[in-house]
Amino acid sequence: AEAASDEEGLDQSARLHARRALAVYGILTLSGIALVWAAGLPLFEALIHTLAAISTGGFSGFADSLAGVDRWGLIALGAVACVGALPLPLFYRAYAHGLHQLWRDPELRALGTALLLVTLLLRWLGQLAPADALAQAVFAQTTTGYSTLDLTGLDPTAKLVLIFSMITGGGVGSTAGGVKLLRVLILIRVIQLAILRVQIPRHGVLQADLNGRALEPAQIEHALLVLLLYPLVILLSWLPFLAAGYAPLDALFEIVSAVGTVGLSVGIASPELETGLKLLLSLDMLLGRLEILALLVLLYPGTWTKRH
């Protein structure tokens, strides 16, 4: 009876979480449409571009993505993309417990830091104009995939910066792809603890925590496993492109964009791409959206065999 009660409690908790996430998603979508429409895009364009931005889908109704959109439209869509890259439960916590919950969230601060860093690197190392540097930083880091310029002619340094940005992605519980900022923060914390343990007495104890919250061993293990699987998938996918004769950096860019479910391209992903490589990129996108581990569990024979 106790087990049944626990299962029922978990089921109710899952349904409550789903309803809250759906409500937050709906409110953010409607607010985004109003914002983008007010910024100057026609209503239908505001609708389709907001839907793509809030879901970090990146599909555009324009042939040149957002290259022809004016400054206010870019600002509005950039804001919507950033909102979509933040954990949906964060907005409910801010509603229920106050706006201070936003700034206290480590992933929001990490997203802001990443956007600033990527913008500066694209501006000074990649030689992009300030507006393009900011726009591409936003649409790569949030894995939205919009672009304001032709990426095929980017400086190699800029491509490498965008690669790191795309693979990092947005927050856990958001619509963004990538390994997720929280897992990167956990990795940084684990490295920090490993360094500190060398400096403390033998019997000293260090608490694995993040932003004042204790990190459970299972949480750390899962984060490190995902951070291992993503580069492994990227490496294995990279080799066939290299064997086919594609430029190494451009091939890596396309694969990271696919695994991170971003959609940015430097020209390799096209109708002319070999069928086998198209299928490989499609598999990469599926692995990235399901976060690899979920698909491995699905394909594992033990998942389907009856357990005694």
pLDDT tens digits for range 181-215: 999 999 999 999 888 888 777 776 777 888 878 88
Nearest to 87 by CA among 110, 107, 115: 107
Q: How confident is the model at residue 137 (pLDDT cuts 50, 70, 90)?
A: very high
CB 171 within 8 A of CB 205: no
Give CA–CA dist 251/8, Å, rounded. 48
pLDDT in tens, 150-187: 999 899 999 999 999 999 999 999 999 999 999 999 99
Residue 170: both structure tokens together: 């947005």
> What crossing angle do the helices spanning 71-84 and 43-54 adopt, rounded to 10°?
30
Identity at 170, one-letter amino acid code: G
For the chain, the farthest-separated pair of C-alpha atoms sits apart, in whole angstroms, at: 66
Q: Which two tokens stand for residue 76?
A: 């509005």
**Where does the pLDDT of residue 4 fall: very low under 50, low under 70, confident under 90, or very high at 90 and above?**
very low
Question: 113: number of CA atoms within 13 Å, CB side?
Answer: 11
The C-alpha atoms of residue 35 and residue 48 are separated, in whole angstroms, by 13
Two tokens at 23?
């409500």
Per-residue model confidence as pLDDT tens digits over 67-113 = 999 999 999 999 999 999 999 999 999 999 998 888 889 999 999 99
Helices in 40-124 by DSSP H: which ranges? 43-54, 71-84, 88-97, 100-104, 106-124
Which residues does residue 214 pair with via DSSP β-bridges, in sequence order?
Answer: 209
Does the pLDDT at position 300 exceed 70?
yes
Mapping DSSP to helix (H, G, I), strand (E, B) and coil, where does residue 153 land?
Answer: helix
- What separation, in Å, do the N-terminal and C-terminal C-alpha atoms of the chain show? 21
The residue with greater pLDDT, 291 or 253, is 253
How many CA atoms, within 13 angstroms, populate the side-chain half-sphere of residue 146?
37
What local confidence, expressed as pLDDT, does residue 58 receive?
A: 83
Percent of the chain with pLDDT over 70: 94
Residues whose CB is less than 8 angstroms from the CB of residue 113 and which lie 6 or more positions away in sequence, other chains included: none
Beta bridge partners of 210: 213
d(CA 215, CA 151): 39
The two three-digit tokens of residue 224, written as one number: 């490190």
Checking if the pLDDT of 17 tops 90, the result is no
Residue 2 reports pLDDT greater than 60: no
pTM, two decimal places:
0.90
Q: What is the pLDDT of residue 6?
A: 47
Tell me the two tokens of residue 281: 């990129």
